[in-house]
Amino acid sequence: DCHLRFFHQGDRGIVGPAFAKPAFLTEFAHIAAIGWSRADGQVDWSCGGSLIWNNFILTAAHCASNEENIAPDVVRLGDLNLFSAEDDAHAQQLKIVKIIRHPLHGFSAKYYDIALMQLERNVTVHETVAPSCLWLDEEVRFRDLESAGWGQTGFAEDRTPILLKVTLNPLRNEQCTEHYTSSNVRGLRNGLSSHQLCAGDAKMDTCLGDSGGPLHVRLQHNYKVTPFLVGITSFGKPCGQSHPGVYTRVSSFRRWIIETMQSNGAPEVTDEQFEPYACALRYVHIRQLAVSRVVANETGVFETFDFTREYITRDFVQEAVELRWQNASAPANCMGVIIDHDTIVTVGDCAAHHGVRPTQVIHRVRTGYMPDDFAERAYEVKEVRVHPNHTDGSYYDNLAVVKIRGAFGIRPACIWNALRLPDQQMEITTVGRRDLNEYQYDSVTVYDSRLMRLIPRVFGYENDNCSLADQYRHNLSRGLQSEHLCFGNDPFLVPETCTLTNGGPLQRSLFRLDRHFKHVYALSLFGRDCGFGEPAVAVRLHPHLQWLESVLLPGHRKRTNDADDATNSDSIVFIDSELELLDRCDFHDGSVGLCVPAERCRGVYDRMLRHEAAIFCSNGSIICCAPRNIMDDSDLRDGIGEIESCPRNYGALRDHLATLPTEERPK
């Protein structure tokens, strides 16, 4: 009855729309064609590379000379078709003044295949010509990587004049040993090394002419995407035959790349400039839009940001709170959600961190229309109840109830009290770096590492398909259980763009009785990047309703079956998920009903209180209702009117009852 108790505070309006993943244009602003000039003025573009600094190209060491032992002398950027002048408006062609191969590279071997090429001057940075970032973490956790080049389109076929891209899947080196061993690949005496990376696809691979080209991933931030270079195309089997290719792993050469640039024309380079956040922000104003739409008018065609499909918003969530401790070593980013005027629910690890309980609950109150227009109000913690089965650090029964002194002055969130979710899309309240989340369009980048509240849109996944990082598995001795909610979204983010909080609510606005009410499904538990790219996990509230009721409603009748109530265990029955709104449904006694919204069926709440059988269609907001109990629009309006007039009709009676001794009040 949550939506009935707080009916007067329900919102009118629409719920946030769904969104999709678009395609983009200037994906390879960092790719460079590396060429050998001929006497007749033509250029043989036989290798690729990646711009990683304003005057440095990163490529394969074997591209330092051709079969005639001649070094390349020119690079071309910002040009997709090397043999046509139609797209040359932003092309830049510069001379190579120095080539530095890795000191351990030898042309007779396949190892340490990495080199830097210094250009005659800095490039002019533009939307079509801009340096790539480097992925310098040894873990490559991305499902898909992109590669591109002007190489052959298949075995014994001609090279393509137009830049082509392929999507590849990273593979463990052990999976590549059947293709690449010392016996079948010349120059691979010791097999594949840890500084080499395998990637392939059942239909596509890289070909001769793609050498030195990028293997990258595009990560989101600031409503934009930035390429991060993961590998350098090194060698492979004859192309077009679905063999995985071998790439030089960029992260293995972090120190060499930075120190080489510092000592060869780029002394301003620092290690911190290649941290993910710093590199992503360096040219944020010219990066591609993450979600966009094309607008055409008489002056031309433009790409603009589509706010209706953004992945992360900054909407204000009034039901979310933060927990704080007097101890400076207390955990950071602990949150909870208001479920009653003086009560929040959070995760157990936040409510009793190593036995130390929080001292304050911080609630933000909106003071204006902008996301930063709020005031913080602190409430003293009065009582903390941690789930009795929870142990510190465990991901099981990780739930707690916190009561405050005083009362929150807002409408609480409702708890979703059904097993099946009404919608797989939901919103999560969490935090992220301010400078990675604000739209930056000016050439002067603003750096601000402070955390700000974020509302990412995520989707619920089946627990059986929830692929978790190894670092979380040791706290899941029994694996994921029904109390866990696996969630996430497809795109990968620049690290620190979104940091999952402990206890942040996963919720959704649901339309009930012509008004919207926030319903909280679960509380965030663990995961990287808020579930973007790889799943995160939350603790669901529904499986813990019996314990929650024992804490919140100690005098309330238990939800579980009692010995004298044989029907209680069947009080809620979910039938086939294909049964939708307005479908026919059948009762146990053979009578026929209709699937309608629960608020349009008379007596539902009373039947639930009496623990009578109730059949729900698909989810907990649609119920199988006998035709005689279905309310039409006029009946529903009468019911809404009765709720609206309740305070006026019964206010005086309540005031009178409050003056009577408890024993004299009517039962």
Is residue 298, in this structure, part of any structural domain at all?
no
Q: For residue 425, what is the domain's CATH number?
A: 2.40.10.10
Instruction: Indicate whether 220 and 361 sit together in one domain.
Output: no
Tell me: do 235 and 347 sit in the same domain.
Answer: no
Give the pLDDT of residue 568: 43
| Total domains present in the chain | 3
Query: Stretch 98-127: mean pLDDT, rounded?
Result: 96
Whether residue 318 sits in one domain with residue 236:
no
- Distance separating alpha carbons of residues 378 and 372, to the nearest angstrom: 18
Residue 208, φ and ψ in degrees, nearest 5: -55, 130
**Catalytic residue check, 158:** no
Q: What is the CATH number of the domain that holds 93?
A: 2.40.10.120
Q: What is the CATH number of the domain that holds 626?
A: 3.30.1640
Separation in Å, CA 218 to CA 19, 208, 288, 494: 19, 24, 10, 9
Contact assessment for residue 599 and residue 514, using Cβ atoms and an 8 Å cutoff: no
Domain that holds residue 206: 21-286
Place of tokens 């919720």: 507
Instruction: Tell me whether residue 211 is one of the annotated catalytic residues.
Output: yes
Domain boundary among 251, 286, 321: 286
Instruction: Note whether 40 and 70 are same-domain residues.
Output: yes
The catalytic residue among 3, 30, 62, 363 is 62
| In the chain, % of residues over pLDDT 90 | 50
Residue 5 domain flag: no
Q: Is residue 457 part of a domain?
A: yes
> In whole angstroms, how far apart are CA 458 and each of 489, 491, 506, 652?
5, 11, 9, 46
Q: Which of 3, 46, 105, 113 is catalytic?
A: 113
Comparing 290 with 34, which gets the higher pLDDT?
34
pLDDT > 90? residue 579: no
Reported as a single tens digit per residue, the pLDDT across 589-630 is 788 889 988 888 888 777 776 767 778 887 667 888 888 888
- Do 282 and 319 lie in one domain? The reply is no
Q: Are the CB atoms for 427 and 407 separated by under 8 Å? A: no
pLDDT digit string, tens, across residues 36-87: 999 998 999 899 999 999 999 999 999 999 989 999 999 999 887 777 777 6
Which residue is catalytic, options 46, 50, 132, 211?
211
The chain-wide mean pLDDT, for the chain, equals 83
Both tokens of 464, joined, read 């059986």
Is residue 119 in a domain? yes
User: Same domain for 111 and 200?
Assistant: yes
pLDDT at 505: 96
Q: How is residue 588 written in tokens? A: 């146990």
Report how far residue 54's alpha carbon sits from residue 32's, in angstroms, rounded to the nearest whole number.
12
Residue 26 pLDDT > 90 = no
Q: What is the mean pLDDT of residues 317-341?
A: 87
Same domain assignment for residues 254 and 315: no
Q: Do the domain assignments include residue 564?
A: no
Query: Do 514 and 598 have their domain in common?
Result: no
pLDDT at 102 over 80: yes
| pLDDT mean over 113-142 | 95
Instruction: For residues 535 and 580, state if they share a domain.
Output: no
Q: Would the pLDDT of 186 be above 60?
A: yes
- Establish whether 62 is a catalytic residue: yes
Is the CB of residue 163 less than 8 Å from the CB of residue 62? no
Note whether 308 and 223 are within 8 A (CB): no
Residue by residue, DSSP assigns 470-485 as HHHHTT-TT---TTEE
> Is 164 a member of any domain?
yes
Asked, for residue 666, whether it belongs to a domain, the answer is no
Domain assignment of residue 303, yes or no: no
Nearest-angstrom CA–CA distance, 615 and 596: 11
Asked if residue 331 and residue 274 are part of one domain, the reply reads no
Say how far residue 6 (Cα) sits from the centre of its chain.
Answer: 32
531 with 580, same domain: the answer is no
pLDDT at 564 over 60: no
Q: Tell me, what's the pLDDT at 607? A: 74
End residue of a domain, out of 555, 581, 611: 555
User: Last residue of some domain: 220, 253, 286?
Assistant: 286
State whether 30 and 114 are in the same domain: yes
pTM: 0.80
C-beta separation of 374 from 316 below 8 A: yes
